[in-house]
């Protein structure tokens, strides 16, 4: 009986020690994940502000050079083609564009992060008329870049009718 108590006590002590040794790592991992989530939120908000300000020189900063994007009904885009299309839209003399952002979830694992989000795009004709509004639910895959920043490497989105 005494031997069983000692074995049980040793097992409990070992479990407590293991838990206390592992807990800082778990906490640090959660802290790292929270920090990455914050960096990604900031990057998405900066994109939104730059886009809404019509700053064509800054809108591509969010995207990695190896970008591949899929938007339902459109040809696959690369970094160069997506940036050219966004810059052309922002320089359109007939329309203005405005994005709103809803981040639904950010999951982080190592050097990858997945963001579920919804962009709501409002297109306003400069000559007057009715605005067109669309919701664009999507999923962005961010990858940590060699310089430590997080950029979108892949994304998939589709357009759904939004409020007008």
The model's confidence at residue 154, banded by pLDDT at 50, 70 and 90, is very high
Mean pLDDT across the stretch 132-148?
Answer: 96
What tokens does 94 get?
A: 């007939």
Asked if 105 and 71 count as a contact pair (C-beta separation under 8 A), the reply is no
Q: What's this model's pTM, rounded to 2 decimal places?
A: 0.78
Mean pLDDT across the stretch 131-136?
Answer: 94
What tokens does 61 get?
A: 């900063």
What was the pLDDT predicted at 157? 95
Pick the CATH number of 2-161 from 3.40.50.300, 3.30.390.30, 3.40.50.620, 3.10.450.50: 3.10.450.50
Mean per-residue pLDDT over the chain, rounded:
84
Query: How many residues appear in the chain?
Result: 164
Mean pLDDT across the stretch 91-110?
Answer: 96
Question: Which range has the top average pLDDT, 9-13, 22-26, 119-123?
Answer: 119-123
Asked whether the CA dihedral 133, 123, 158, 102 is positive or negative, the reply is: negative
Q: Does position 54 have pLDDT exceeding 50, yes or no?
A: yes
Rounded to the nearest 10°, the torsion over CA 15, 18, 19, 20 is: 120
């Amino acid at each position: 009986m005494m031997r069983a108590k000692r074995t049980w006590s040793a097992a409990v002590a070992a479990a407590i020690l293991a838990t206390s040794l592992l807990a800082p790592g778990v906490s640090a991992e959660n802290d790292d994940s929270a920090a990455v989530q914050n960096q990604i939120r900031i990057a998405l908000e900066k994109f939104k502000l730059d886009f809404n300000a019509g700053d064509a020189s800054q809108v591509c900063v969010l995207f990695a050079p190896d970008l591949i994007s899929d938007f339902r009904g459109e040809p696959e885009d690369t970094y160069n083609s997506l940036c050219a299309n966004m810059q052309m839209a922002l320089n359109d003399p007939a329309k203005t564009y405005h994005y709103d952002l809803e981040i639904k979830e950010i999951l982080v694992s190592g050097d990858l992060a997945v963001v579920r989000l919804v962009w709501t795009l409002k297109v306003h004709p400069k000559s007057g008329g009715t605005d067109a509004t669309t919701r664009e639910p999507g999923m962005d895959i961010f990858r940590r870049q060699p310089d430590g920043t997080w950029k979108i490497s892949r994304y998939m989105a589709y357009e759904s009718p939004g409020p007008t």
